[in-house]
Amino acid sequence: MSNQPRFGFVVEYVKDIQAARRFYEDVMGLQAERVHPTYVQFDHFAIASDAPMAGGAREIYWLVPDAQRAFRALSAATEIVIPPVRKPFGTVFGVRDPDGQPQFLLELATDRPSRPAR
């Protein structure tokens, strides 16, 4: 099984999750795929009102089937900015890209707290 990262999604941090959800659904025409009180996921885009992983307004996530395996491979090749940490939504770690920005690699939890929207 390949552990090659594939693009996952971008998270935009918002002040009012309900107002942001209404905007993206009613104005932009997006359809929510998963929901949680602090998180709404659309297709390759999500909004969240909890604390960012690295203090930024946006985060880019790359999905991997095995976060620990990806961490071992990437820690030898690039700077780790956040070591693997288990969150309710999965195991995530961060690496620094050449411009100094964090990129997050995520193994989604099978029992993550968000639920299908419909």
Nearest-angstrom CA–CA distance, 101 and 44: 19
Per-residue model confidence (pLDDT) at position 21: 92
Per-residue model confidence (pLDDT) at position 11: 92
Residue 29 CA neighbour count, 13 Å, CB half? 0
Per-residue model confidence (pLDDT) at position 57: 66
Per-residue model confidence (pLDDT) at position 99: 66
- Give me the residue spans of the domains in the chain: 8-50, 62-110
**Is 77 strand, coil or helix?**
coil
Burial class (CB in 10 A: 0-12, 13-18, 19+), 46: buried
The fold of 8-50 is: 2,3-Dihydroxybiphenyl 1,2-Dioxygenase; domain 1 (3.10.180)
C-alpha closest to that of 87 among 60, 116, 111 = 111
Query: Edge-to-edge strand order for the sheet containing 102-108?
Result: 80-87, 90-96, 102-108, 58-63, 6-13, 45-48, 39-41, 34-36, 115-116
Those residues whose C-beta lies under 8 Å from the C-beta of residue 38, and which sit 6 or more positions away, are: 17, 48, 49, 50
Fold agreement (8-50, 62-110): yes
Those residues whose C-beta lies under 8 Å from the C-beta of residue 64, and which sit 6 or more positions away, are: 3, 4, 5, 6, 70, 105, 106, 107
Per-residue model confidence (pLDDT) at position 40: 95
| CATH code for the part of the protein at 62-110 | 3.10.180.10
Give the pLDDT of the chain (118 residues) as one tens digit per residue: 688 999 999 998 888 899 999 888 987 788 999 999 999 999 998 999 998 887 766 888 999 999 999 999 888 888 899 999 999 999 999 988 876 878 899 999 999 899 888 7
